[in-house]
Structure 1
Amino acid sequence: MQCLKCGAQNANNASYCSACGNAFAFSEVAAAQVVYKNHAGFWKRFGAFVIDWMILSILNGICIGFFALSFGAAIFSGSIGAIPFGLSMAFGFIAMSFALNWLYYTLLESSAKQATLGKMALGIVVTDDQGRRISLARANGRYWSKILSGLFLCLGYIMAAFTAKKQALHDLIASTLVIDE
């Protein structure tokens, strides 16, 4: 079993962590036997991100096509309001793109599958620190925390390669784990 405090491996029937001395509660022992299979590594998580990025790019491309056709139709009709219409369409697309990305990640990661389509393809899931499905509120917090992970040359994402539980900054903030299914 893995210690929830320091991440060290211990015997399944241990009462204390051999590395840090942390006392295991009964719930930790039960959760540790279920949760800690293997933490998904940096490259597996990156691969899932690339798949998700491709899917979202296609969906956003469809939206751009719809907005471009609408704007083009307004311009060719000779309408005097084509420019304000075009600007409102651009702002509408930006809002729709943000909403699409937000809903994609929060709804899929808090669903019964516990994963986006990219994560499903690579056999990884998002859990809370006890191995349970995350709530919509936690998925929402995890999504918005990714802004911090992306700041300063994406160091928050790169952290996943170096932390004991392979957690990125947004995982630490939201108390989530990404593990192999």
Structure 2
Amino acid sequence: MASVPNSGSAAPPPPPVWDATPPGTTPVGYGGFWIRVVAYIIDAILVSLVLGVVMSVFGIKYMDFDNPEKIDPTANLLSILVFWLYFALMESSERGATVGKMAMGLRVVTGDGKRLTFLNATGRYFAKILSALIFCIGYIMVGFTERKRGLHDMIANTLVIKTR
């Protein structure tokens, strides 16, 4: 009769480990250009709908198409305020993402993977203006950089990572 190792033990041997990667060392996936575009479209639709309702409740006209010279500056200021607060508050929240980013499985974190502060999220939001002003090259950079970072991400030291 051949000797069986651990023959005195009644417990079966543990199952083989097929994925020997230790927990926490899985590579991070970054949110690329197109998935971020879709997330932004979702956010823009959502915020525009809310903004439209708020403006109509207060009787603010964004533009009078019969008299285009009568642009109400209140509407522009309100738009900037609402979009800024939406992006800065959502991205600095516990979830670290806007509704669009959550829908696409993305999250915004600092360069070392921590939660954004409101100030950092505010800086990131206003740095997007610079990304847009230079013919959107700051946004296009997302498709060509190693960690999928746009100019605004580099300025604010942030990353957009995949959560699923």
The two structures have a TM-score, normalised by structure 1, of 0.68
**Per-residue CA distance 1:147-169 (angstroms, 9 max, x = gap):** 10001221100100000000010
Structure 2 counterpart of 1:145, which letter? Answer: A
> Residue 178 of structure 1 aligns to a residue in which SS?
strand
Which residue in the other structure is 1:50 paired with? 41
Equivalences for residues 47-86 of structure 1 within 5 A:
47-68=38-59
Structure 2: which 5+ residue stretches go unaligned? 1-20, 62-69
Quote the RMSD (CA, aligned, Å). 2.2
Cα deviation, residue 96, structure 1: 1.5
Number of equivalenced pairs? 134
Aligned with 1:122 (options 104, 107, 113)? 104
Cα deviation, residue 142, structure 1: 0.3
- The ranges of structure 1 where at least 4 consecutive aligned residues each deviate by more than 4 angstroms after the TM superposition are none
Answer yes or no: is the 8 Å Cα contact 1:63–1:93 preserved in 2.
no
**Structure whose residues are more often helix by fraction:** 1
Which of 1 and 2 has greater Rg? 2
Answer yes or no: is the 8 Å Cα contact 1:41–1:161 preserved in 2.
yes
Among all aligned residue pairs of Structure 1 and Structure 2, give the percentage whose two residues are the same amino acid. 40
Residue 37 (structure 1) aligned with residue 28 (structure 2)? yes
Equivalences for residues 1-181 of structure 1 within 5 A:
33=25, 36-68=27-59, 90-181=72-163
The two structures have a TM-score, normalised by structure 2, of 0.75
Cα deviation, residue 67, structure 1: 3.9
Structure 1: distance between partners of 2:48 and 2:39: 14
